[in-house]
Structure 1
Amino acid sequence: MSLKAKNKLAIILSIVIISYLGIVACGPQKSAEVPDYAPKREMSVKEKQYYREGQKLYTMYCANCHQEDGSGLGKLIPPLAGSDYMEENFSESICGIKNGFKGEMRVNGIIYNQAMPSNPNLKNLDIAMIATYIYNSWGNDRGLIDVLEVEDIMRDCP
């Protein structure tokens, strides 16, 4: 075999190997497991749907600050996991998902004073889904927060 033919064969084999490695390395892979923070009790079909969609919306709009596990960000951003504020201020928390927060807030005995931006594009259904997710994750277990309940609360938001 001539040197020219050997070089062509080497190039072709290199392309085949590199292509194979690229497919293996960049092909379909098992995605990182997303922890399931849902309560262990049986949920209705509607609650499961709200919860799963709420989880997606939470990841898009909230997890950057409040973290994927709801732990917050030190003394800057309050936790949602085990938050006494959320339990004691349900309506204000629902309003805050869309309208944001300003000023001091005491959560689990710690004062937070970082403004939370508003999400004015969220619809009441989005808010109900996010609320169902956060109020049923990380040890919270409130049950379904229906869009009709959110609509009632949103009418009275400041």
Structure 2
Amino acid sequence: MRGQIILSHGSDSGPDATKVSALAAFAEALGWQTHRPDYRDEDTLGYAGSIPPRIARLLGAIDALDVPPILVGSSMGAFVSGLASLERPVAGLFLMAAPSDVIPGYPRAFAVRAGVPTQLIHGWQDDVCVPEDALAFAQRHRLPLMMVDDDHRLSVSLERIIEEFRLFLDHVAAEA
């Protein structure tokens, strides 16, 4: 086993969503252990209302592990993964289509733990989490950001994202 990965889906999605399922299957084929929390009950509370229970569920999943995991998230899954990294040690962050500012009605802005290997992926055509915010966040925190010609779902770029994920996993494994 190479390590642990927790993959968090976005709002209005589930643990069997296309991106997290594909990334989990890819990581498992490389010998990583994966876990995909199901946040659908939390998502019934609305965007801002879902954040505290999502973070609590994610922190519980982290606490159940013997080693700091890599957190992977898409959209709201990326948002809570970043915030969870501020509260628990993590081995890395692979975040896609992240809301890189505030969620209306939630008091904290998106953030990630400094010094943790991080890769951001964002679509130029994202009309939910605008590209300009992703660019500004990456620049402000000096984080690597891969921009793809895709929308918020990033479905057109899945093969490219999986290749970037492979490179990221190799980097984190080499750092361990």
- The normalised TM-score by structure 1 is 0.26
Which has the larger helix fraction? 1
**Bigger radius of gyration:** 1
Which has the larger strand fraction? 2
Indicate the structure whose relative CO is greater, using CA pairs within 8 Å and at least 6 residues apart. Answer: 1
- The normalised TM-score by structure 2 is 0.24
